[in-house]
């Protein structure tokens, strides 16, 4: 059970078998044991001082029993035979619908894709080495310009080992190692205080820093804050919006991705419900969700129901071809799952979630897209937003954006939002470049659960979006 075990095998198959038998004792149709062992480390340097240096471990199991339309669920941090049996009986009782008897479950050997290869486990790296990265970033950001008045640098890593066994004979596991680094800067000037942020994170070990220069991360964060000191108020009204590579993936994650999750579709809480086979986007648009993308933040070998990660095409050449599925919704539809059953941890039930969601590259030249836009806004980086999945209406903040005037990028802008409708924005995309890039690592929240996700785009133009700015 040491850290060197990358298979995810944490509990003995005999113990899992007896736990599943107890869970099925009252006649359930399906039972599942999800075991998780998570270790994490974080460090924060704020205003030149280490404000936080912490590590933690969380370990336990969640047991799910399905009987008809009822799901029973219990979780426990006690992984002894007694603790697991108590949780199994509690879940079984909650799902009980008659029947009775004991069902013996024959588990196959561990199966499924191999976990990602990690060259240097963060747990094996001294904390002093991690703190040194923060100090380097702080120095680089402050050296960018005297106007940089505050710097916050963050380091984080986690190792999540999971094991999934169910009453259909599945026994599989995964190890997911993630490493994250971010820098936030505040710059002071005549326009007040302006902020800039840059983050990098991948499903890899400490070898992340073989490829990532934390000095450069810091300089980019400082540069964003400094650029805003010269920013003018954002314009207002409907206009073309060009989204830069990587910077606008969250737009499609929120405005379209959530509406393609099968649980929201089943509840008719999605504007895309019942529209498979229909044209929902411009013919150049293909939207993909892919949990297999090597190194990306939403990557894993198996989802939290034990199904291998997949590359799922959701919209192809403008046509809605499929939704994302977890086991529960897939079984009801008589189809296989799509590897999108995810949960925040063992205390939670799985639900349909995105992984790495992105708009595929096109063939246009990114410079030509800008040059062909007489007047509009260029968004290099979007911030937070919100969407109504039932209608598709959304609002997003722009954290780095510029005016487009006469086909050229001119002044940086501030204090603006993008306002629109997901399906309408998909139909209004009239140019897609060949410079695809993934954006910053993210955490997607849904129904009180957060999971790591990635998103990406090439440069693209939406012919009509409403920009909510403060310029007269």
Q: What pLDDT does 255 receive?
A: 85
Q: What's the DSSP call for residue 275? A: -
Structural domains in the chain, CATH included, are: 13-228 (3.30.2290.10), 232-468 (no CATH)
pLDDT digits (tens, 9 = 90+) for 144-157: 999 999 999 999 99
pLDDT > 70? residue 106: no
Question: How much is the mean pLDDT over the chain?
Answer: 92
pLDDT > 70? residue 300: yes
Q: What pLDDT does 9 receive?
A: 53
Q: Which pairing describes strands 408-414 and 287-290: parallel, antiparallel, or unpaired?
A: unpaired
Of the two residues 143 and 415, the one the predictor is more confident about is 143
> What pLDDT band is residue 27 in, cutting at 50, 70 and 90?
confident
> What pLDDT band is residue 415 in, cutting at 50, 70 and 90?
confident
> What pLDDT band is residue 97 in, cutting at 50, 70 and 90?
low
CA 54 to chain centre: 23
pLDDT digits (tens, 9 = 90+) for 330-374: 999 999 999 999 999 999 999 999 999 999 999 999 999 999 999
460/317 Cα distance (integer angstroms)? 15
pLDDT > 60? residue 98: no
Long-range interactions of 130-134: CB distance < 8 A, separation 24+:
130/41, 130/43, 130/155, 131/43, 131/45, 131/50, 131/53, 131/155, 133/181, 133/209, 133/214, 134/43, 134/44, 134/45, 134/50
Q: What pLDDT does 7 receive?
A: 45
Residue from 384, 10, 56 nearest 197 by CA: 384
* pLDDT above 90: percentage of residues in the chain: 86
Burial of 30-46, coded b for 16+ CB within 10 Å and e otherwise, reads bbbbbbbbbbbbbbbbb
Average pLDDT over residues 170-186: 97
pLDDT digits (tens, 9 = 90+) for 243-272: 999 988 888 998 899 999 999 999 999 999
pLDDT > 60? residue 104: no
> What pLDDT band is residue 386 in, cutting at 50, 70 and 90?
confident
Q: What pLDDT does 4 receive?
A: 42
Q: What is the CA radius of gyration of the chain?
A: 24
Angle (deg, nearest 10), helices 127-144 and 214-228: 30
Verdict on whether the full-model pTM lies above 0.95: no
Average pLDDT over residues 390-402: 94
pLDDT > 70? residue 101: no
Average pLDDT over residues 202-212: 97
> What pLDDT band is residue 103 in, cutting at 50, 70 and 90?
very low
Mention every residue, 6+ apart, whose C-beta is less than 8 A from residue 368.
none
pLDDT > 50? residue 32: yes
Give the bridge partners for 394, in sequence order.
387, 420
> What pLDDT band is residue 209 in, cutting at 50, 70 and 90?
very high
Average pLDDT over residues 180-199: 94
């Amino acid at each position: 059970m040491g850290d060197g075990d990358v298979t995810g095998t944490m509990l003995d198959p005999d113990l899992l078998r007896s736990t599943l038998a107890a869970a099925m004792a009252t006649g359930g149709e399906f039972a599942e044991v999800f075991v998780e062992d998570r270790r994490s480390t974080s460090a924060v340097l704020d205003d030149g001082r280490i404000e936080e240096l912490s590590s933690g471990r969380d370990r336990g199991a969640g047991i799910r029993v399905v009987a008809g339309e009822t799901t029973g669920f219990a979780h426990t941090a006690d992984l002894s035979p007694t603790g697991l049996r108590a949780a199994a009986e509690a879940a079984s009782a909650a799902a009980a619908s008659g029947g009775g008897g004991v069902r013996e479950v024959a588990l196959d050997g561990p199966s499924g894709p191999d976990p990602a290869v990690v060259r240097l486990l963060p747990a094996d790296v001294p904390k002093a080495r991690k703190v040194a990265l923060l100090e380097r970033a702080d120095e680089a950001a402050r050296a960018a310009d005297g106007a940089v008045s505050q710097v916050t640098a963050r380091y984080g890593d986690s190792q999540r080992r999971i094991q999934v066994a169910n009453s259909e004979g599945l026994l599989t596991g995964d190890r997911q190692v993630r490493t994250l680094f971010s820098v936030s800067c505040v710059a002071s000037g005549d326009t007040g205080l302006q902020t800039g942020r840059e983050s990098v994170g991948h499903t890899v070990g400490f070898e992340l820093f073989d490829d990532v220069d934390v000095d450069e991360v810091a300089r980019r964060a400082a540069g964003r804050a400094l650029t805003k000191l010269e920013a003018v108020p954002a314009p207002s009204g409907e206009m073309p919006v060009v989204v830069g590579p990587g910077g606008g993936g969250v737009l499609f994650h929120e405005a379209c991705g959530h509406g393609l999750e099968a649980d929201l579709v089943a509840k008719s809480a999605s504007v895309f419900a019942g529209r498979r086979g229909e044209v929902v986007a411009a013919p150049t648009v293909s939207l993909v969700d892919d949990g297999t993308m090597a190194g990306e933040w939403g990557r894993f070998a198996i989802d939290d129901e034990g199904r291998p990660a997949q590359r799922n095409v959701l919209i192809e050449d403008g046509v809605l071809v499929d939704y994302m599925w977890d086991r529960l919704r897939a079984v009801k539809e008589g189809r296989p799952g799509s590897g999108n059953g995810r949960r925040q941890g063992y205390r939670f039930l799985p639900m349909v979630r995105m992984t790495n969601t992105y708009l595929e590259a096109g063939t246009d030249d990114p410079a030509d897209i800008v040059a062909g836009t007489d007047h509009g806004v260029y968004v290099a980086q979007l911030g937070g937003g919100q969407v109504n999945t039932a209608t598709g209406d959304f609002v997003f903040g722009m954290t780095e954006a510029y005016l487009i005037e006469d086909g050229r990028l001119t002044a940086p802008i501030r204090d603006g939002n993008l306002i629109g409708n997901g399906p309408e924005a998909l139909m209004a995309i009239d140019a897609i470049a060949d410079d695809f890039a993934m954006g910053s690592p993210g955490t997607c929240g849904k129904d009180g659960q957060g999971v790591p996700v990635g998103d990406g785009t090439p440069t693209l133009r939406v012919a009509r979006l409403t920009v909510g700015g403060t310029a007269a």
